[in-house]
Structure 1
Amino acid sequence: MASTKPVRRAAALQRPRPVDRFEEAAALYGIPHWGKGFFHVNDEGDLVVRPTRQPGREVSLKHIVDEVAMRGITAPMMIRFPQILSACVRNLNEAFARAIGEFGYGNVYRGVFPIKVNQKRVVVEQVIEAGRQHNYGLEAGSKPELLAALAADLPAESLITCNGYKDEAFIRMALNGVRMKKKVVLVLEKVSELDRILSAAKMRGVKPLLGMRAKLYARGSGKWAKSGGEAAKFGLTTPEMLEAVKILKSKRMLDSLVMLHFHIGSQITDIRKIKVAIREAGRVYAKLRAAGVPIQYLNLGGGLGVDYDGSKTAFESSMNYSVQEYANDVVYTIKAICEEEKAPPPILVTESGRAVTAYHSVLVANVLDVADKIDQGRRVRVSPTDPPVLQELADIQDTVNAKNMRESYHDALQYKEELFTLFNLGHLSLEDRAKGETIFWNICERIHRDLKTLKEIPEEFEDMETMLADKYVVNFSVFQSLPDSWAIDQLFPILPIHRLNERPTEFGTLADITCDSDGRIEKFIDLRDIKETLPLHRFRDDEPYFLAFCLTGAYQDVLGDLHNLFGEAHEVLVTVDDEGRSRVEDVLPGESCERVLEYMNYDRTQILDSISRQLRRVANRPVKKDEIRAIYREFEAVFPRYTYLER
């Protein structure tokens, strides 16, 4: 997909097609394409999750929401499925095992999970346990991450790779990890790190395990393409790698250099870019081996993508390859180069985090309100005494049809401009303006209904659906729970968790509850384009309506911020047993008002003391003392409350 610019088609401008069966509901939201067998719709019209991909072993997200509500846990909530984490870890390791067997590769695969993708302890521990039989390891890029990695109960053959810039404390920790008989590899990002590492190792009498990050010429694709190439932030150039080898030779420590590492970016969308990088890295490895450098591991870094929109293309929210194809290309290419260069095949390492964690968590949030431009069924009466501009608009409203819609729309736009001009000049009242706006949107709604009779949509009507879209106000913060949607326009699958056996009659965009105009979602996944609206059901004031934001397990937990001091959402851990019974394993309450205030150095006692002093100043003028006590108690009661809106 060459462009992210939406291309509007006639079908996209129609209201969503009626849904009679759950298969059609699943197709409407693309579930078979992006769900990877984990997500389905049941006969009741609920979105269900199959953590093991097995039919019958599924759980309704709506049932989970209802169950935890009885414990006082309300939306928004992050629902996690540890079994999906396990399935994704197995899928990656088994893909490499199959490729190694198929091509007769003469070594093994040792993956590591980059903690930065999701540092939540429950996530890291589940990844470790799922990868235990595969000697799956961890990657750390900071002192806190390295502490977590060293504390983990990893198998003896598992790697801990250390990337990023390092200070003395970081280096000492890594070396102490080696003394603990762990395979901790310090990857050089710049040559100047080498002297500090060797000096610290000598002082402790420990032989370090070293790697070099190569700055390849090859670049990735998608949003993170600039992570690779000659202008990349990290890595050693070819002269710098040779300099590091020379230094190690001079100190008779060349055998400490055990890993060659590269990384050309996250979410690589095009398999061709990966193949180019693998070939280049394979040649670098073979040449270093020929020069006497005893490298054992070839670390291909991250980049294994996630097909967020299900299109299976090189579009930035997709990927045009499978995990198995990725593993096959890595194994086959490195094997061929090693045979040609007569180099021993290295142990293969990847740092794939997104593909391992993305699917395991779903954010569920409730709709609070709907702001719509069209008051369904409202008819505005215009009298002969009303201003001429209103009479002209009313005449268009009465006469617009499929044959004259273009002319009628042009005239309506002209009179709309005239309406605002006259109002700004003081010639119209607020009531006049309200009438004119209502009539204009009624005209647009009638035109929109007639557009579906056309084979091709005239250019001037391409934005009609977006103009008429309702705004669904959702009880969450984009900045806290879906930061990549705001920061880099990342697309995520979004759909209702229930009522999927009903016909979605509305189309809308989403707004969060922050006081920021960027707190909205106006781009949605589609197999062919980016959709500007989402098919939704009519919101009923007396009935909760929940939306699921899927594939949020990678980066969203750790990149979220406290905009408007909306904190982390509740977390709910769910499993499904062999008989298909679901179980809520744990509930972690979301952050309270007191907790987020503490982040900003506000103290509960100081706040209440300040409020108390101010209340005393107004005692009996005009607030009575008993009312002051009641007011104080109300303030006091807010501190343990959830930061999100409660009903």
Structure 2
Amino acid sequence: MKTKYRDLIEQTFDFPQNEFKLKEGNLTFHGIDLMNLIKEYGTPLKFHYLPQISNNIQRAKSWFREAMSNLGYSGNYYYSYCTKSSHFSFVLDEALKNDVHIETSSAFDIDIVQNLKNKGKLGPNNYVLCNGFKLPKYIQNIANLIDQEDIKVIPIVDNFREVSELLEATDKNLSIGIRIASEEEPKFEFYTSRLGIRYRDILPFFNTLIKDNPRVDVKMLHFFINTGITDTAYYWNELTKCLRVYCELKKVCPTLDSLNIGGGFPIKKSLAFDYDYFYMVQEILQQVKHVCEEENIPEPHIFTEFGSFTVGESAGAIFKVLYQKHQNDREKWNLIDSSFMTNLPDTWAINQRFIMLPVNKWEEKYERVLLGGLTCDSDDYYNSEQHSNAIYLPQFDPNSPLYLGFFNTGAYQETIGGFGGLKHCLIPEPKHILISRNENGQLVTEVFSEEQNASDFMNLLGYYK
């Protein structure tokens, strides 16, 4: 009879997988011996495996390169990293090794760009795409970057007034993009995205405020929908509408030569994940090529702004099961040595699922459990309501620790959780380590930040002032 945890996973999923394998009954992730990591650094623990950032960038570039070659597509492809997914310096440093461009969202993003430029990591061949609603400080920082004339800055205007505000902030000419306010899915509580300019207003906006202004060129049309890049009638319909607007604008605006399709590639959140990236890339390019041929206009250069796809699959968190509570005849609660709400906030905020697997005890029998965090909040849990199926884990033994890994957590969790700041119930930020490989392919680890302590919190709360 197959009663081991390993049996459960192998009969439920295609396992092992590229990044997940077993070594002597313990889980490895991209060849990283996670039990050795635990022995060296303890738990709770967060980590980034930096080579996966480069790996995903190169995968995407290869899909676009192959699809463009297959289709005879005449435009170029530009991969941009969306910084809001993770602003950490180690993420940007790794991404920029791969000849990528940057997309920003707010004023302080430009300080990061300036820092990278001063270090020689961004230069004349890099684009900086400035998205988002632009407060005065953001406008001024963009203008300062444009004034330096040693990097290609494209402010993507979100509303009618931003062009005049930028012109007032700099004496230089502007090369801009225009963001389309896409229509949302019927299930949304609103019809049109609050971001960007409505489809029907883009041509009048250009003709009234831009066409006769010698200081402004429109280079890019920007398109993005919240659902991401999905093989649905809704996505293809919105893309087609965007392409029609592009063609109409191109006919009266010769400088327009680029289409930005935003981000939205999904990342792996389950061992049963199945998404044909290359198919989607080729279908998108085929749609673009078809509409452009119909309208007799040149095919645009394609920009993407992948954030979660770039960094999401590079990171993980490891927790220890501290205690098991039997609250009634059916529910067993495994309590971890951290908090879901504070350290994996999307599990609480949007019921996000991550790949969750035990690190050890794969040869032990399994049981059905609920997972709880350390805060006193009733929402600090991770169970079948937030996991697609019931949670089964190796049986708890108070004399033999059980460790759990949550994987592909690299996008948004630190920024939403307030990295290094106050936490609910003052649950500390875990130790954070970086993992890379040297020129011989050997793993190298370093501590990026230590676990928060009482002094950190006391200082933030003003008790030491």
TM-score (norm 2): 0.91
- Residue 327 (structure 1) aligns with: 281
- Residue 156 (structure 2) aligns with: 187
- Residue 364 (structure 2) aligns with: 502
- Residue 169 (structure 2) aligns with: 200
- Kindly provide the CA deviation profile for residues 350-398 of structure 1, in whole angstroms up to 9, marking residues without a partner as x: 1111111111111001111000257xxxxxxxxxxxxxxxxxxxxxxxx
Unaligned 5+ residue runs, structure 1?
1-15, 51-57, 69-73, 313-319, 375-440, 442-467, 607-647
Structure 1 residues 159 and 17: alpha-carbon distance in aligned structure 2, compared to 1, 3 A threshold: farther
- Kindly provide the CA deviation profile for residues 593-645 of structure 1, in whole angstroms up to 9, marking residues without a partner as x: 22233333x233x6xxxxxxxxxxxxxxxxxxxxxxxxxxxxxxxxxxxxxxx
Secondary structure of 1:573's partner?
strand
CA contact (8 A) 1:493 1:550 kept: yes
- Residue 569 (structure 1) aligns with: 430
CA contact (8 A) 1:106 1:345 kept: yes
1:339 paired to 2:201: no
- Residue 147 (structure 1) aligns with: 111
Q: Structure 2 CA distance, aligned partners of 1:111 and 1:31?
A: 31
Cα displacement (A) at 1:292: 2.8
CA contact (8 A) 1:215 1:230 kept: no
Cα displacement (A) at 1:591: 2.1
Query: What are the within-5 Å matches in structure 2 for residues 4-83 of structure 1?
Result: 17-19=2-4, 24=7, 26-27=9-10, 30=13, 32=15, 37-42=18-23, 44-50=24-30, 58-68=31-41, 74-83=42-51
Q: Structure 2 CA distance, aligned partners of 1:25 and 1:579?
A: 36
**Partner amino acid for 2:139?**
I
Q: Structure 2 CA distance, aligned partners of 1:184 and 1:49?
A: 38
Q: Structure 1 CA distance, aligned partners of 2:441 and 2:398?
A: 34
Unaligned 5+ residue runs, structure 2?
none
**Partner amino acid for 2:417?**
G
Cα displacement (A) at 1:177: 1.8
- Residue 643 (structure 1) aligns with: none
Secondary structure of 1:351's partner?
strand
Which of 478, 486, 491 pairs up with 2:348?
Answer: 486
Which of 318, 322, 327 pairs up with 1:364?
Answer: 318
Structure 1 residues 357 and 263: alpha-carbon distance in aligned structure 2, compared to 1, 3 A threshold: same
Structure 1 residues 311 and 298: alpha-carbon distance in aligned structure 2, compared to 1, 3 A threshold: same
Cα displacement (A) at 1:568: 2.1
Q: Which has the larger radius of gyration?
A: 1
Structure 1 residues 109 and 260: alpha-carbon distance in aligned structure 2, compared to 1, 3 A threshold: same
Secondary structure of 2:39's partner?
helix
1:302 paired to 2:263: yes
Cα displacement (A) at 1:126: 1.2
Structure 1 window deviating more from structure 2 (83-92 vs 177-186): it is: 177-186
- Kindly provide the CA deviation profile for residues 443-491 of structure 1, in whole angstroms up to 9, marking residues without a partner as x: xxxxxxxxxxxxxxxxxxxxxxxxx131000011112211111111111
**Partner amino acid for 1:119?**
H
- Kindly provide the CA deviation profile for residues 388-427 of structure 1, in whole angstroms up to 9, marking residues without a partner as x: xxxxxxxxxxxxxxxxxxxxxxxxxxxxxxxxxxxxxxxx
- Residue 400 (structure 2) aligns with: 543
Structure 1 residues 580 and 18: alpha-carbon distance in aligned structure 2, compared to 1, 3 A threshold: farther
Secondary structure of 1:107's partner?
coil
**Partner amino acid for 1:510?**
L
Task: Give the number of the structure whose residues are more often strand, by fraction.
Answer: 2
CA contact (8 A) 1:110 1:158 kept: no
Q: Structure 1 CA distance, aligned partners of 2:161 and 2:441?
A: 56
Cα displacement (A) at 1:264: 0.6
Query: What are the within-5 Å matches in structure 2 for residues 383-462 of structure 1?
Result: 441=329
- Residue 69 (structure 2) aligns with: 101
Task: Give the number of the structure whose residues are more often helix, by fraction.
Answer: 1
- Residue 394 (structure 1) aligns with: none
Cα displacement (A) at 1:551: 1.3
Query: What are the within-5 Å matches in structure 2 for residues 127-166 of structure 1?
Result: 127-129=95-97, 131-132=98-99, 136-152=100-116, 153-166=121-134
Cα displacement (A) at 1:31: 6.7
Q: Structure 1 CA distance, aligned partners of 2:304 and 2:313?
A: 19
Cα displacement (A) at 1:498: 0.9
Cα displacement (A) at 1:214: 0.9
Structure 1 residues 282 and 239: alpha-carbon distance in aligned structure 2, compared to 1, 3 A threshold: closer
**Partner amino acid for 1:252?**
P
Secondary structure of 2:368's partner?
strand
1:274 paired to 2:235: yes
Secondary structure of 1:214's partner?
strand
**Partner amino acid for 2:315?**
S
CA contact (8 A) 2:358 2:405 kept: yes
Q: Structure 1 CA distance, aligned partners of 2:229 and 2:67?
A: 20
Cα displacement (A) at 1:503: 2.7
**Partner amino acid for 1:87?**
N
Q: Structure 2 CA distance, aligned partners of 1:282 and 1:61?
A: 47
- Residue 302 (structure 2) aligns with: 348
Secondary structure of 1:364's partner?
strand
Secondary structure of 2:181's partner?
coil
**Partner amino acid for 1:508?**
V
1:170 paired to 2:138: yes
Q: Structure 2 CA distance, aligned partners of 1:515 and 1:270?
A: 41
- Residue 634 (structure 1) aligns with: none
- Residue 635 (structure 1) aligns with: none
Secondary structure of 1:339's partner?
helix
Cα displacement (A) at 1:155: 4.7
Secondary structure of 2:193's partner?
coil
Structure 1 residues 483 and 519: alpha-carbon distance in aligned structure 2, compared to 1, 3 A threshold: same
CA contact (8 A) 1:220 1:274 kept: no
Q: Structure 2 CA distance, aligned partners of 1:189 and 1:179?
A: 21
Which of 175, 186, 189 pairs up with 1:209?
Answer: 175
CA contact (8 A) 1:301 1:350 kept: yes
Cα displacement (A) at 1:90: 1.0
1:534 paired to 2:391: yes
TM-score (norm 1): 0.66
Q: Structure 2 CA distance, aligned partners of 1:80 and 1:583?
A: 12
CA contact (8 A) 2:185 2:191 kept: no
Query: What are the within-5 Å matches in structure 2 for residues 463-482 of structure 1?
Result: 468-482=330-344
**Partner amino acid for 1:545?**
L
Structure 1 window deviating more from structure 2 (290-299 vs 475-484): it is: 290-299
Structure 1 residues 62 and 28: alpha-carbon distance in aligned structure 2, compared to 1, 3 A threshold: farther
Query: What are the within-5 Å matches in structure 2 for residues 574-589 of structure 1?
Result: 574-576=435-437, 581-589=442-450
Q: Structure 1 CA distance, aligned partners of 2:191 and 2:260?
A: 19
Q: Structure 2 CA distance, aligned partners of 1:289 and 1:572?
A: 48
Structure 1 residues 280 and 191: alpha-carbon distance in aligned structure 2, compared to 1, 3 A threshold: same
- Residue 594 (structure 1) aligns with: 455
CA contact (8 A) 2:211 2:253 kept: no
Secondary structure of 2:153's partner?
strand
Secondary structure of 1:154's partner?
coil
CA contact (8 A) 1:366 1:474 kept: yes
Cα displacement (A) at 1:179: 3.0
- Residue 414 (structure 2) aligns with: 557
Identity of matched residues, %: 22
- Kindly provide the CA deviation profile for residues 70-104 of structure 1, in whole angstroms up to 9, marking residues without a partner as x: xxxx3111021001111111111111111111111
Secondary structure of 1:213's partner?
strand
Cα displacement (A) at 1:141: 0.8
Secondary structure of 2:306's partner?
coil
Cα displacement (A) at 1:230: 4.4
1:603 paired to 2:463: yes
